Amino acid sequence: MSKFTIAIHGGAGTILKSMLTPELELSYHIGLQDALNAGYHILEKGGFSIDAVQAAVVSLENNILFNAGKGSVFTNKGIHEMDACLMEGKNLEAGSVAGVRSVKNPILLCSEIMQHSGHVLLSGQGAQDFAVLRGMELLPEDYFYSEFRYNQWQEIKDSELYLLDHKENVGGPDKKFGTVGAVALDVHGNVAAATSTGGMTNKRYGRLGDSCIVGIGNYANNKTCAVSCTGHGEFFIRSVVAYDVSCLMEYKGMNLKDACEKVVLDKLVKIEGEGGLIAVDTLGSYELCFNSEGMYRGAKTSDGINVVGIYK
């Protein structure tokens, strides 16, 4: 049987053991393992990577601990605007959504966009209208509410500040880049990537990060790899991170590990871009690479590997 692999992330940043109670740490581990299992079950039955990454990300979107779907952060207007992207490596098809509201699972809307819209990226009200047309599950604003993120927004809602998902205090260094993602290789040799986020607390002006942009926060190509990113989006946009990993493999002949480390531990660091990525290649190798203090992450393979981690 051909090898298959899935890897996931739930955000990166200053994630220290001192910041999490044992109960909360366990909850994160359970959430990550549940997402891994959701995608792995599809792969082990001979299913496709595109379906596996969606299943994993849906699990994370439905978990209030993560900044995507339920539990997304608040914008400056006190609403939830979500971004997501889905891509498959066989034909380089992709679907992406930006600034969408009410959609329970933005990653599933990406699939509808990819298959039925004739476009790649839809945004705002237009994306909302398409979601209605496709019969997507829409929920009221209070479904996405979490007290933690509401209180976080209350602290800065009348200021020009924004927060990168979690922060111990407005002036302090502690932060987490809240995005979720999954990458997978199936037994058919196809890779796929999925990424979803609620963005930044108190974001304004229709700000978009890297998560919804093909080749930056999310990319998949059967010639090379699949990549899902998490970090300070502005720096990832400037560095074209996901595609850069693929390019180093395709045109420089680098292996997955070296390509990921070149981008995350060298190129991003030089411009003070903090965060990380997960990646899988067509050999079934995976990387969980980050330059921050921690990254919620995990991987599971047909070789029997099952890992879940939080700290560096």
Residue 189 lies in a domain: yes
Are 143 and 70 within 8 A, CB to CB? Answer: yes
Dihedral sign for Cα atoms in the order 124, 130, 133, 138: negative
pLDDT for the residue numbered 163: 63
Residue 312 lies in a domain: no
Residue 240 lies in a domain: yes
CATH number for 164: 3.60.20.30
Residue 91 lies in a domain: yes
Q: Walk along the chain (312 residues) and give the pLDDT tens digit of each residue.
A: 699 999 999 999 878 888 889 999 999 999 999 999 999 999 999 999 999 999 999 999 999 999 999 988 888 888 898 999 999 999 999 999 999 999 999 999 999 999 999 999 999 999 999 999 999 999 999 999 888 888 878 888 777 766 665 444 333 434 567 899 999 999 999 999 999 999 887 787 888 899 999 999 999 999 999 999 999 899 999 999 999 999 999 999 999 999 999 999 999 999 999 999 999 999 999 999 999 999 999 999 999 999 999 998
Q: What is the pTM of this model?
A: 0.94
The residues that are catalytic are 179
Residue 310 lies in a domain: no
Residue 58 lies in a domain: yes
Q: What angle do CA 170, 81, 197 make, to 5 degrees?
A: 75
**For the CA atoms of the chain, what is the radius of gyration?**
18
Residue 311 lies in a domain: no
Decide: residue 26, CB within 10 A, 0-12 exposed, 13-18 middle, 19+ buried.
exposed
pLDDT for the residue numbered 168: 43
Residue 87 lies in a domain: yes
- Please give the tally of structural domains in the chain: 1
pLDDT for the residue numbered 201: 78
> Could you list the residue range(s) of the whole structural domain that residue 43 is in?
5-305
Half-sphere exposure of residue 47, counting CA atoms within 13 Å on the CB side? 18
Q: Name the packing angle between helices 106-116 and 49-61 (round to 10°).
A: 150
d(Cα 70, Cα 77) in Å, to the nearest integer?
18
Q: Dihedrals φ, ψ of 220, to 5°?
A: -150, 135
In DSSP terms, 83 is beta-bridged to 197
The dihedral over CA atoms of 17, 179, 228, 217, expressed in degrees to the nearest 10, equals -130
d(Cα 226, Cα 126) in Å, to the nearest integer?
28
